[in-house]
Chains A and B, each alone.
Chain A
Amino acid sequence: MEQIMEQMPVVLHSLNIGFIQTLKLFFVTLIGAFPLGLLMSIGSTSRIKPLSWFIKLLIWIIRGTPLMIQLLIIYYFPGLVLHNPIWGGGETGRFLAASFSFILNYSCYFSEIYRGGIQGVPVGQEEAGLVLGMTKTQIFFKIKLLQVIKRIVPPMSNEIITLVKDTSLARIIALQEIIWAGQAFMKGSQGISGAIWPLFFTAVYYLIFNGILTLLLGRLEKKLDYFR
């Protein structure tokens, strides 16, 4: 115990740096996947058949395979197979590849949530808007959007909390996120080696961050409770 208290400052410092990388991946994924998912949901319900087939195929592949495999393929395939390492080297390259993989993966899940949310708004809402002389754009922004948001908040909350934990998969391509930072103390880093507790301790970070997110998302859900 005494030893742990001694190691604590060094470990926390390292874990904090790792967690910042975790947060960066988390937010970049959200910022990318929110709009891309919406575009994909529009594409997958499009009347242009080749487009909707292509997107459905993509969603099937991405949802049907592990994110870890996707990370490995996206990161290593260009360099090792095509001999064209598009991601570049070092941590920046790993972060770019990880961001790309996560955005792609989460866009597919989000697009299905959006699709459900949009299709869940009764047709009567659109028809009521039409007979009142509204344009399609007005109907979407003034009538449907808030109803869609209300519908998608609970499933989105689930995905967002899963995403927090999924960022740890980026460890597989050695992205220096918090798991990587914790593991470093097993092999030896900054004078500490063979210590497994830093790795276990990373769980506290996830737990606290997810606790905050749960509170915020719960509050948003409450805010939209004023209508049914």
Chain B
Amino acid sequence: MAILEVEHICKSFNRTEILKDISFSLEKGQVLSIIGSSGSGKTTLLRCLNFLEQPDRGVIRVGGETLFDSEDSSTQKESAIRKKRLHFGMVFQSFNLFPQYTALENVMLARELLAREQKDYKNRKKDIQEEIRIQAEGLLEQMGLSNRKENYPHQLSGGQCQRVAIARALALSPDILCFDEPTSALDPELTGEVLKVIKELADKKTTMLIVTHEMAFARDVANQVIFMDDGSILEQGDPIQVFQHPREERTKQFLSRYTQ
């Protein structure tokens, strides 16, 4: 069964349609790459999944549970949205690390705050904090940043920042990890180190949704590729099909700019 099901998502800003009837699904442990030119709605789609925007129409289901249904107002309660967001992790193009916290604190903060809502938090405070710290250190190690955990974001390179951001998103063990052009703010040298850790996550069967302009990477890492154009999914399939035998003229045109 698909872990993520998205059906008929529509979203407009000031009467401009940004998303026009988007439907797709994603299996657990799979990677879906979304490609397409700027302004095609890729980022808005990710923001809808993370409840940073509310879709005008459509349904979002995770693991069979309906998180959002435009027809059912009981799924749109402000108070419940916070917990629903936890199904998704989000890695932003501009990292958005918290500048006043070290790399390690960035990774730990959200889990610590969530742990305070546990009933036994007061009694087990030390154990819980220790647990969170060990997990965070493990994640930073996985990102190759063991020696950087006490550094503040301004002391890190862009590639290191983005890896901290990935660790921070993973700390809450989301069902689906979303990337919004994770390497667009990086120079080619730093892009490589970020793509490498994303590839490692894919090898570990992390369910991911990656919006990217790195075509070679999308082709190598994804099980499924979606090409979006002007708010619609124009083409969808396995990477070989989309990249080597695109059916649509628009897809060919888009891809040819990257293969020249």
Task: Give Cα A132 to B88, complex, Å.
Answer: 9
- CA separation between A76 and B52, bound complex, in Å? 53
Residues of A within 8 A of B90 (CB): 128, 131
A156 proximal to B (CB < 8 A): no
A131 with B99: CB separation less than 8 A: no
Q: Do B88 and A227 touch across chains, with their CB atoms under 8 A apart?
A: no
Interchain CB contact under 8 A, A128 and B92: yes
Q: Chain A binding site: helix, strand, loop or mixed by DSSP? A: helix
Contact partner, A133, options B97, B101, B153, B172, Cβ 8 Å:
B172
The segment from B19-27, B78-86, B210-218 found at the interface with A is B78-86
A134 touching B110 in the complex, CB below 8 Å, given contacts A127-B52, A226-B152, A227-B152:
yes
On whether the beta carbons of A122 and B96 are closer than 8 Å, the reply is yes
B1 within 8 A of A: no
Are A228 and B99 also in contact (CB < 8 A) when A131-B90, A134-B113 are? yes
Cβ-based interface call for A147 (8 A):
yes
Asked whether A124 and B109 contact (CB < 8 A) given A131-B88, A133-B114, the answer is: no
Q: Which residues of B contact A134 (CB under 8 A)?
A: 82, 110, 113
A142's partner among B52, B92, B96, B109 (CB-CB below 8 A) is B109
A residues within 8 A CB of B96? Answer: 122, 124-125, 127-128
Contact residues in B for A228 (Cβ distance below 8 Å): 99, 152-154
Looking at chain A, what size class is its interface with the partner chain? 20 to 34
Q: Does the CB pair B98–A128 fall under 8 Å?
A: yes
Residue B147 is within 8 A (CB to CB) of chain A in the complex? no
Interface centre among B88, B96, B109, by most A CB within 10 Å? Answer: B96
Is B16 in contact with chain A by the CB < 8 A criterion?
no
Q: Which residues of B contact A138 (CB under 8 A)?
A: 113
Chain A nearest Cβ from B104, distance in angstroms: 14
* Chain A residues whose CB sits within 8 angstroms of the CB of B86 once the complex forms: 133
What is the number of contacts between chain A and chain B, taking CB atoms within 8 Å?
Answer: 66
Residues from chain B with a CB closer than 8 A to the CB of A143 are 98
Contact B172 A132 (CB under 8 A): yes
Are B99 and A130 in contact, with the CB atoms below 8 A?
no
**CA A147 – CA B85 in complex, angstroms?**
25
Q: Which residues in A have their C-beta under 8 angstroms from that of B223?
A: none
Q: Is B158 interfacial (CB 8 A cutoff)?
A: no
Q: Which chain A residue shows the least CB distance to B92?
A: A124
Interface residues of B in 226-251 (CB under 8 A from A): none
A135 lies within 8 A of chain B by Cβ:
yes
B90, B100, B168 — most chain A CB neighbours (10 Å): B100
Question: Does any Cβ of B come within 8 Å of A69's Cβ?
Answer: no
Complex interface: chain B residues within 8 A of A132 (CB)? 85, 109-110, 168-169, 172
Question: Do B98 and A125 have beta carbons less than 8 Å apart?
Answer: yes
Interface residues of B (CB under 8 A from A): 50-52, 82-83, 85-86, 88-90, 92, 94, 96-101, 109-110, 113-114, 152-154, 168-169, 172
**What are some 7 contacts across the A-B interface (CB < 8 A)?**
A127-B92, A130-B51, A132-B109, A132-B169, A133-B114, A226-B100, A227-B101
List residues of chain A with CB under 8 Å of any chain B CB. 122, 124-125, 127-135, 138, 142-143, 146-147, 150, 226-228
Give me 16 other A-B pairs in contact (C-beta within 8 A), A124-B94, A133-B110, A227-B154 excluded: A122-B94, A122-B96, A127-B52, A127-B92, A128-B92, A129-B110, A130-B52, A131-B52, A131-B85, A131-B89, A131-B169, A133-B85, A133-B113, A135-B82, A227-B152, A228-B154
